[in-house]
C-alpha cells in the first residue's frame, strides 16, 4: 500500500506540531499534572511523539511527485 504524496511543507508543519505537543504533554504529565491525570497526559504525549515520528518517516521516504506527462501539451516547431 502506498501513501499518497503530501507536500513537504505540510509534512514539516505536522511534524513540528505533533513533536511540540508531545513534548509539552510529557512535561505536563510528569511534572505539573495532578496524580489522577498523570498517566493519561503522559500517554497522550507519547502518542503525539509517535505521530511525529511517523510523519518524519513519511517525509524522509516519499518520492518527489512528478507531473503527469499525458496531460502536458507538446510543442510543435
Question: Considering the domain boundaries, does residue 2 fall inside one?
Answer: no
Residues 6+ apart with CB under 8 A from 14: 52, 55
pLDDT band at 1 (very low <50, low <70, confident <90, very high): low
- The pTM is what? 0.79
Question: Considering the domain boundaries, does residue 34 fall inside one?
Answer: yes
pLDDT digits (tens, 9 = 90+) for 5-55: 889 999 999 999 999 999 999 999 999 999 999 999 999 999 999 999 999
Domain region containing 13: 8-61
Per-residue model confidence (pLDDT) at position 74: 67
**Residue pair 58/1 in contact by the 8 Å Cβ criterion:** no
Look at the chain and report how many structural domains it folds into: 1
Amino acid at each position: 500500500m502506498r501513501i499518497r504524496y503530501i507536500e513537504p511543507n505540510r509534512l514539516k508543519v505536522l511534524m513540528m506540531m505533533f513533536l511540540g505537543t508531545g513534548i509539552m504533554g510529557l512535561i505536563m504529565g510528569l511534572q505539573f499534572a495532578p496524580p489522577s491525570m498523570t498517566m493519561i497526559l503522559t500517554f497522550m504525549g507519547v502518542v503525539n511523539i509517535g505521530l511525529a515520528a511517523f510523519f518524519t518517516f513519511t517525509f524522509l521516504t516519499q518520492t518527489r511527485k512528478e507531473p503527469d506527462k499525458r496531460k502536458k501539451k507538446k510543442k510543435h516547431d
